[in-house]
């Protein structure tokens, strides 16, 4: 006597959007790097939805976060946790699945994978193994902040997160000071005030913007000089949400007149110590720090 086991019902490989159910077409084998919303779940492309629905599995940084997106669009693809803590263990299994001809989608919690998010080593290894790697472009917090900061966009440098400790952070800021481009940073709420203080000390009164909760209900972009922004966030509670800091490029190196230099120093001294004010103005004016420091000491002496 033969016992017949019922076959598992094949999962739906479709998605629902705007009240319409769409069946996704089969995918070619390979790794699909899929950008997902940074806040507003409406900011997802139709191609991204179709790819997530048709994938053999979705590699997610945090499966709970990705579940919210899949639930919104009624996508039933299986999820596999892939993040910095388990990557070394899970990556060989992913590569084996790619070698077997599967189509796998890689997502981060928000935005474009690999941009300050896990995935770089997986893409390197997948490409080295001969697997096809496809890009599905879309939301990115760095680009969203850059487009709303009202700062030059023709050339920019994405730094990501600065070091957590002040000494290392200031050293890194000094290395970035001469880059002739707008600088883009990610920062955590708890470190924002300290990071802005170090940026002001190292880069001076450059124009800057702090973009918070982009695409979400409480989206906010605050624009001012670094010195003013540092003073503001030092005086308020740590803000909530995801934060991007955008800093304008250095001004062309034109030696300011003596009266202008003194005004710059006095302006910086209103918020910073003599040492930090001198460092900030030296960067802004393109002058030797020792020269500006000596001038700042003279100005402080004349005010006593």
User: Is 13 a member of any domain?
Assistant: no
User: Is 1 a member of any domain?
Assistant: no
Closest to 168 (Cα-Cα) out of 149, 139, 191: 191
Does 203 have pLDDT greater than 70?
yes
What's the total number of domains in the chain? 3
- Residue-wise pLDDT tens digits, 205-253: 999 999 999 999 999 999 999 999 999 999 999 999 999 999 999 987 6
Does 179 have pLDDT greater than 60?
yes
Instruction: Output the pTM of the full model.
Output: 0.79
Do 83 and 166 have their domain in common?
Answer: no
Overall average pLDDT of the 195-204 stretch = 96
Burial of residue 199 (CB within 10 Å: 0-12, 13-18, 19+) is buried
User: Is 15 a member of any domain?
Assistant: no
Confidence of residue 303 (pLDDT cuts 50, 70, 90): low
Do 113 and 149 have their domain in common?
Answer: no
CATH number, domain containing residue 115: 3.40.1010.10
Domain that holds residue 265: 258-303
CATH number, domain containing residue 209: 3.30.950.10
End-to-end CA, the chain: 104
Do 72 and 128 have their domain in common?
Answer: yes
User: Is 11 a member of any domain?
Assistant: no
Enter the DSSP assignment of 165: S
Do 172 and 228 have their domain in common?
Answer: yes
């Amino acid at each position: 006597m033969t016992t017949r086991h019922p076959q598992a019902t094949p999962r739906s490989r479709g998605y629902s959007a705007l009240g319409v159910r769409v069946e996704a077409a089969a995918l070619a084998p390979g790794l699909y790097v899929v950008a997902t919303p940074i806040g507003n779940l409406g900011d997802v492309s139709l191609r991204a939805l179709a790819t997530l629905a048709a994938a053999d599995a979705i590699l997610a940084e945090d499966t709970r976060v990705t579940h919210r997106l899949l639930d919104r669009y009624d996508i039933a693809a299986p999820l596999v946790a892939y993040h910095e803590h388990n990557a070394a263990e899970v990556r060989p299994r992913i590569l084996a699945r790619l070698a077997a001809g599967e189509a796998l989608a890689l997502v981060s919690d928000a935005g474009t994978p690999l941009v300050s998010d896990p995935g770089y080593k997986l893409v390197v290894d997948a490409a080295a193994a001969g697997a096809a790697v496809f890009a599905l472009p879309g939301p990115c917090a760095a680009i969203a902040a850059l487009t709303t900061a009202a700062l030059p966009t023709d050339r920019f440098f994405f730094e990501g997160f600065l070091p957590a400790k002040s000494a290392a952070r200031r050293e890194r800021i000094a290395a970035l000071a001469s880059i002739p481009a707008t600088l883009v940073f990610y920062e955590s709420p708890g470190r924002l005030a300290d990071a802005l203080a170090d940026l002001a000390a190292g880069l001076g009164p450059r124009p800057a913007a702090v973009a918070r909760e982009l695409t979400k209900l409480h989206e906010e972009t605050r624009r001012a000089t670094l010195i003013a922004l540092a003073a503001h966030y030092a005086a308020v509670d740590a803000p909530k949400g995801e934060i991007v800091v955008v800093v304008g490029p250095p001004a062309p190196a034109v030696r300011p007149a003596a009266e202008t230099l003194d005004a710059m120093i006095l302006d910086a001294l209103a918020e910073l110590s003599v040492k930090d004010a001198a460092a900030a103005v030296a960067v802004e004016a393109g002058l030797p720090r020792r020269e500006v420091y000596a001038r700042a000491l003279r100005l402080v002496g004349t005010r006593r």
